[in-house]
Structure 1
């Protein structure tokens, strides 16, 4: 039997669950079990639990058949617990290093109390950490274990269960269970504390309480569900009624109820605007019916608020709030001045357009900071033309890039009056990066963020850990991300990262990447056409070399001697090079380029056509590997500076340990590898198969259709994803040649 059981319920927390479980399993104290409860979560939380249970015998994954809510999910975990003590940990929070050792030691020191209370700190997206403001209540003074009557002020701590260790026999003896509802912690916390005969405290931060920027805490959600508080306090006082020996706690709990009701009324972002008066009347009824004999209101503003609430005088309470707001007039006016300055900077014309109605049939597209027509937005544009031709499609493009846009695409030059009109009035905004800060997101506008790759390198808020790679203003970044309504993903790996590093209130669409549809849907004729456009001979082996950019390098440093590589590979190969015009000119390189042995495809408008033409991709850390893997063709990783790149930029997995194919760390290794069959060996095929299972999850050729149906047509019925094993990607050049000989 373990010393500790940790119950971890989960619902829609796939982006945080691994960090939570890792914080438990990495503890130096090991005598514990974890009951991870999947509350019928619609995301990948249940699969993550199974993954951890499969590799660590201390983890048990419990899957509920229906969503029952946080309280009853905890009950399900509690029923499976076998430890001496039970701890509850919310699945987006984490334990601090050494927390379980400190908890176990304190339990032993205090002679196995009924309840141990430990401290916590709030953690914020910007790295700020704030300790519990009432931490002074947890000072370890006096007896190691004591009754609550010795320290009744502990009832003034936040009503939470995840900062306590409960002796399981104590819970069983008294039959404590979590009720359903929004505020399920209140009756559990109050009832257990006043019942415990021996309580101990630990003056140590053991839990990091994540303050999710996107409002993951249900108590910050505007809803009538906050009326649930009345049912919960009915349970609290019902417990007192059933235990007359605890009646001396009634005055203190009555005041806690008062304070709690006032908090809900006064906190912005809880009750709907039209529900305040009704809530106040319900609260007044409870206060009148439950007022204990001899209760005396405190003096001052607090006591005045008690009196108003007892009368149900919501208008008077609201008046007090207005007075408090007036004290902050200077701050409010300062913010207005800043806002006005921003509006002035946007231009009078843009402001005039913002006052006009939205054009319900206008979509504004942009890609790669308005550099042209490309990527996921371009694929969505093409699908939209077929499925919703009534929607006008306009592209925002920089003036010096307009010539790169295909004929027939409607363009507005960035900064022109037409651009500001489209930005202000388009119903749909589609981009694979963010629009400029000047964009005012209007009510009714739909902002679709498509992204432009599966992340190997750190992104968003994770870049704070790697300051050498960025000078980003993260607050400004998240303000831009707050405009998103939808965020596309091609695999669950990406979804969990996007939701964590861009913590905003958008809907994740696991559709696959529309730009990759062509890799699944193209036939042999498309492959032949792609190669002919590049001038590739039928028999040549084409290696597509696509190195990524390194933000931390001021000047580009070529990683390969292309002339030497082409010479070593011989006349039967062609190097397609997509990158900077970074290689210093040399007579030998010029000869190879003239002969078609090295082809600069950096300016090619459609990278997907390069994928179709190539026999193999050579890359370092580019997201191209995730897209190209959909073709199920060989991939070679050339990682000559992996240690530097991963340390400076940060990566989400070790590419050398989990590559999509053969790996070389020097030009000599790469040359040897390409001159042998290692680049297309059975071992490389196996690595690629594992890579595809992980990262090509949703790219089945119907991604653009899914996006258009959901975002532009409002259809909620999902388009089923074709299983990986049932997909037939575009044939490789070798397969095309075989088909040609069979005709």
Structure 2
């Protein structure tokens, strides 16, 4: 008996069917059967299914003599299912890699609940991907009922984001009805009756958003089926008195669902909208309870004319509101510009410095290291941070801050003498004579940056290079940790700044690292003191929309590292809020298989806690080399990466350690111990000599002394003039 019976109804999807089946048959978890139901498809789907069945004995094909529709095609496949769990997969969607293994593991962990709900991502025909916006609902431990956790009912009411225990479905006689919205009278009963529901916070299905062909996006009277489907839901509740308390909730959901259909301009023919409203209102009244009617549904207690009047009023009100908001925004802009102008005509405050990092995400990176040093060496200089409002609550109590584009921000930036940032300031921050703009960058560059992106149109999509260079014209000093960076920044940013050979301030803690510096991170994540911690830090790809590519299975790598090892994963910051973590990382972290350190605000702490780094082409390797700990470069797609983004050097030829070009090579490096052999040490020493040249543990104080206080820290040379620039110490050209 297989673990899963995957039922795939098939109709007019010949262009997508092979991709769907390949995503199933290529899963690492193989204990399943596929029951493909050819719903009398008029295209080549039947032949495609037969070809797959010939090649793989796990595929069984049913050819229906007539078209019966999606729901009844699923019903036709259920009697042939022998698996423990039923999985209904639409034939134009796909499983994500490793999905079945993750589902099977979660089922084992939850002791086979009746229903397991997992996550999905919408994939668009133009290449975009968007994760389910209610993914946080799936972060729930243990099992529960719908009454204990009603939030589970707020997820998309579809059948394919769940698996169902087959004996539970059989015992309750659950079936799909004919017509549109057939998922509704299946999903509500299965969830409301289940005694044990579990969740899996992992994207297991890619939900294809077709440019055309989605039946629920077509204009048709078939949308009237939604009323019959909700009648079936209410009939089920009537037949199960223990569910009677759900009637007010279901009445509200029905009203919301139907009004949502009515409000969409392309769902119903205009001549049918009044009838649809009337039938919705009748159904709403029929199932009225003693609960008060929510304000947004009271329109169903009036007639269609009243509804249309409110709709038109909302449209007009929206337009007027938009104009009012635009007027308020314009007025606010004039006020802020006037405020800035007033303060720009006051003298600069010689003891005021303003800091920002990573687009105002907090007290982080090089600017934070400079700020700490300035507090010690120049306590008379007041330091003010620019921090996003949603990050302000995380700040230490002794940090003074302003929020972006507030009046306080305008005043501070108009009068500050020192500006320290690792990204560019907004365009309205004027460069006043006498002000000192210190640009710290975000590490040593491997991939193309700045003006060099002009020849890489794919990598600079949505990136305005000329505007970026105009903002960089405000820089006075560009910090560098090595001569390589110095040359790259002079080429990538053809502006009048001076290169400061200070080293990278944020790397001071790495250069000065002491045994036990990473103990706090290890303790916070429950990592045993005697474990060897391997940090995996992949970067984003410009040749893939969204930037994320799984180069290998991190769960497998964690297992292959063996006992006494912990794998810590830190995604590129630009991928932190996308679907990348939902492809398994969050679930692996919850289960203790890996540690997800993506949200750790200070990457230096993560590096200090690790014993080795595995990366592909992340600039993190240049910082990590300061620790003089082993680094492995996993370069299985170096050609594609370098061609799409551009690279200043061939990291596979100038690597800080061994290079793997396949997962097998990567795993072997660790199982054999080669990751820390003499050759690895030799390569690392050569790399450090070139790319950690100016990192001596005194970078932050050097910035303060030389660039803010005008002193010399006694280390020569501390600075070198850029072409066309001026020396940062003497000010001469």
TM-score, length of structure 2 as denominator length:
0.50
TM-score, length of structure 1 as denominator length:
0.49
